[in-house]
């Protein structure tokens, strides 16, 4: 099963209606194009994203945008978003470099990034890439990758980092070299004139210069604070008294204003806000699933029009998010008032994401809802797929969050853990884990504490154990053992477990090819293609086609090899149209095709 990227994270946020133009800051950003890096660093609520969106829409340079969140704190996932964002604006990057980066090991990354930067250096048109909410990234490998890019980036590329904290990069050295443009909290604060325009023209209040000055001083130009103050003042008769009482720390002010804003909404809107606060991103269908309603899209439209801290993520107004701090406070209120309902809401969200093939999000919500049985069920169906599609670190982080006592017996948890060990190359500890699982199967009482393990599920687990042993035997070069284990796995796997059966046939083909049995390898690969196409698994289809192209090449069937590479390319194009990203494995098809063209003396 593939794991598509959420495309709204790559959309440049649309310009906000009734926007307060900030030419002084736009000029700073324009001046920043003469430097390597622009850094926008300030606490939440200071208009960083809004400013960047305004500038990008006015700027003449093409721009790529990534809205980051906690789930992107994973090198493989981060690189997928980074490459996909580049491809939307840079057409000249070779597919070989892209595929190699997406499948590289950490020690290979610098070398491959060098190739990427060299290709960018040959471009004519300069471009911008924006990483918004970068403060959520704490993974050392990602920091090292971005530091390498900044230190070596060509003049055609300008990087913009926006977040609540400085990245752990050598900023002092960049300052000394004149390679850094910075916009910080004091730059982003509303001036008194900007505050007056916002409060009286945009929000429709009739405040005196003294009242505006008082609010501006109290909030220190904090845009979110001014917005919530304005919402609270709507309809009030004694505005001056409200302003005089408007004091205290930011957190106190924000808590007070949220209470004031929420209390002015209908009970229906308040209920919607609380229930949907568990979501990082909102759409009509997703909110319908979480709230068990049918009119969420109209509610979202109402919230946007009412300026209730809802930010549109696309031009079609399909996806939104709450202002981060507003969402945090809604969640606190939900925990205080309806703590027992949160697991139910997370489960509904998890089910929606699973139905829409977004497994990472489905598992995250199951974990947040402490629904460990659901997590294990998701892992049972998707652990191999997640690893196969470059989500090994994500899977490991899920396993680390699960308590040992969460489920009894944790058989599928053992299988998922064994897969992570296999792909991480930790073969020494795999066998003991597999034997532990086999022992649990033999001694398993199907009536134990309400758990029921059917014979089909029992055989499926046995099949997975055989597949893992096949994989490790193949990597150790014990081809004879690997072939026997592959057939053992096929004997136990259910006929409808197409993804896994397709994987084992692919592995069998590779083992037979390595053993010199090219006929058997071709037969196994052909079966794997048929299975993967029936299952709709584009990734596996492309993998097997690349293997088959290599077999044709070895047999001297160059025309067949080229045609098979083209077929893999077509599958990758189809997948890209559905998910918005290329299949990493397509790099192998281009490599094989280049070998065929070299044989034909088509060197260009």
Kind and range of the H or E run holding 354? helix 342-355
Do strands 37-41 and 157-163 pair parallel, antiparallel, or not at all (unpaired)?
parallel
Q: List the Cα angle 344/346/349 in 5-degree steps.
A: 110
Measuring CA to CA, how many Å separate 408 from each of 238, 411, 414?
62, 8, 11
Interacting residues of 159 by C-beta distance below 8 A, sequence separation 6+: 36, 37, 38, 128, 129, 131, 146, 149, 150, 153
How many C-beta atoms lie closer than 10 Å to residue 357's C-beta?
14
Render 135-176 in DSSP notation, one character per residue. Answer: GG---HHHHHHHHHHHHH--TTEEEEEEESS--SS-HHHHHH
CB 401 within 8 A of CB 84: no
Maximum distance among all Cα pairs of the chain, rounded to whole angstroms: 88
Residue range 321-336, pLDDT digits in tens: 887 667 777 888 888 8
Phi and psi at residue 501, to the nearest 5°: -65, -40
* Integer-rounded Cα radius of gyration of the chain: 27
CB 52 within 8 A of CB 232: no
Q: What is the 3-state secondary structure (H, E, C) of 89-114?
A: CCCCCCHHHHHHHHCCCHHHHHHHHH
pTM higher than 0.75 for the full model? no
Do strands 37-41 and 180-184 pair parallel, antiparallel, or not at all (unpaired)?
parallel
Q: How far from each other are the two terminal CA atoms of the chain, in whole angstroms? A: 37
Torsion angle of C-alpha atoms 68, 70, 75, 81, degrees rounded to 10: -30
Mean pLDDT taken over the chain: 81
Rounded distance, CA 294 to CA 274, Å?
17
Helices first, then strands: H and E counts in the chain: 30, 8
pLDDT on residue 104 = 63
Residue 220 φ/ψ region, left for φ over 0, alpha for ψ in the -120 to 50 degree band, beta for the rest: left
Rounded distance, CA 188 to CA 397, Å?
36
Rounded distance, CA 380 to CA 414, Å?
10
Sheet with 319-322, edge to edge strand ranges: 282-283, 319-322, 310-312
Sheet with 180-184, edge to edge strand ranges: 63-67, 127-132, 157-163, 37-41, 180-184
Question: String of b and e for 31-58 (b: at least 16 CB within 10 Å)?
Answer: ebeebbbbbbbbebbbbbbbbbbbbbee
- The runs of H, that is alpha helices, within 429-581 are 430-442, 455-475, 479-492, 498-515, 518-535, 538-554, 558-579
Nearest to 85 by CA among 122, 45, 56: 56
Tokens of 539: 């990734």
* DSSP assignment letter at 133: T
Q: Would you give the distance in Å from CA 1 to the centre of its chain?
A: 16
Measuring CA to CA, how many Å separate 237 from each of 230, 233, 242, 243, 566?
13, 8, 9, 12, 72
Nearest to 375 by CA among 417, 325, 330: 417
Residue 129's DSSP bridge partners are: 64, 159
pLDDT on residue 300 = 93
Tokens of 272: 């919607």
Rounded distance, CA 229 to CA 548, Å?
65
Name residues of the chain where pLDDT drops below 70: 1-5, 89-108, 235, 245-261, 305-307, 315-316, 324-325, 357, 380-396, 398-400, 404-410, 442-453, 576-582
**Cis ω for the linkage preceding 130 (within 30 of 0):** no
pLDDT on residue 346 = 94
Q: Would you give the distance in Å from CA 34 to the centre of its chain?
A: 31
């Amino acid at each position: 099963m593939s794991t598509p990227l959420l495309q709204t994270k790559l959309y440049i946020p649309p310009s906000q209606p009734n926007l307060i133009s900030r030419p002084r800051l736009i000029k700073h950003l324009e001046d920043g194009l003469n430097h390597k890096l622009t850094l926008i660093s300030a606490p939440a609520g200071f208009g960083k994203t809004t400013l960047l969106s305004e500038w990008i829409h006015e700027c003449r340079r093409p721009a790529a945008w990534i809205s980051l969140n906690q789930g992107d704190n994973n090198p493989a996932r981060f690189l997928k978003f980074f490459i996909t964002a580049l491809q939307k604006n840079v057409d000249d990057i070779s597919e070989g470099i892209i595929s190699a980066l997406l499948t590289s090991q950490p020690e290979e990354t610098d070398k491959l990034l060098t190739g990427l930067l060299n290709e960018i250096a040959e471009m004519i048109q300069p471009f911008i890439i924006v990483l918004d909410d970068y403060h959520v990234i704490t993974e050392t490998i990602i920091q090292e990758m971005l530091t390498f890019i900044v230190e070596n980036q060509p003049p055609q590329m300008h990087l913009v980092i926006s977040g609540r904290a400085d990245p752990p990069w050598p900023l002092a050295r960049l300052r000394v070299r004149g390679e850094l443009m910075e916009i910080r909290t004091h730059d982003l604060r509303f001036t008194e004139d900007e505050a007056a325009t916002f409060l009286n023209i945009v929000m429709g209040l009739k405040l005196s210069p003294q009242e505006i000055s008082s609010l501006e001083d109290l909030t220190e130009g904090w845009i979110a604070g001014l917005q919530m103050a304005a919402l609270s003042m709507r309809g009030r008769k004694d505005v001056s008294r409200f302003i005089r009482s408007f004091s205290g720390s930011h957190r106190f002010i924000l808590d007070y204003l949220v209470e004031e804003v929420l209390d002015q909404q209908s009970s229906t809107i308040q209920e919607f806000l609380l229930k949907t606060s568990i979501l990082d991103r909102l759409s009509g269908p997703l909110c319908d699933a979480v709230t068990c309603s049918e009119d969420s899209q109209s509610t979202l439209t109402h919230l946007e029009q009412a300026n209730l801290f809802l930010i549109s993520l696309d031009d079609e107004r399909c996806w939104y998010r709450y202002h981060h701090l507003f969402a945090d406070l809604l969640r606190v209120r939900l925990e205080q008032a309806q703590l027992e309902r949160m697991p139910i809401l997370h489960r509904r969200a998890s089910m929606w994401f699973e139905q829409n093939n977004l497994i990472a999000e489905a598992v995250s919500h199951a974990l947040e809802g402490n629904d460990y049985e659901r997590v294990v069920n998701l892992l049972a169906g998707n652990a191999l797929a997640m690893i196969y599609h470059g989500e090994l670190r994500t899977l490991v982080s899920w396993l680390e969050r699960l308590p040992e006592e969460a489920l009894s017996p944790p058989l599928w948890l053992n299988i998922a853990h064994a897969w992570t060990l296999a792909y991480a190359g930790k073969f020494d500890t795999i066998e003991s884990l597999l034997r532990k699982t086999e022992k649990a199967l033999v001694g398993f009482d199907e009536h134990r504490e309400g758990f029921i393990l059917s014979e089909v599920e029992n055989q499926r687990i046995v099949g997975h154990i055989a597949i893992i042993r096949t994989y490790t035997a193949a990597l150790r070069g014990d081809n004879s053992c690997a072939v026997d284990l592959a057939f053992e796995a096929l004997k136990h796997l259910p006929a409808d477990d197409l993804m896994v059966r397709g994987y084992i046939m692919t592995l069998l083909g590779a083992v037979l090819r390595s053993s010199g049995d090219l006929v058997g390898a071709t037969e196994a690969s052909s079966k794997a293609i048929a299975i993967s196409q029936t299952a709709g698994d584009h990734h596996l289809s492309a993998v097997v086609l690349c293997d088959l192209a290599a077999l044709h090449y070895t047999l001297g069937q160059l025309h067949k090899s080229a045609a098979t590479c083209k077929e893999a390319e077509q599958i990758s194009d189809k997948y890209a149209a559905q998910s918005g990203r290329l299949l990493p494995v397509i790099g192998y098809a281009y490599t094989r095709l280049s070998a065929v063209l070299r044989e034909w003396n088509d060197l260009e």
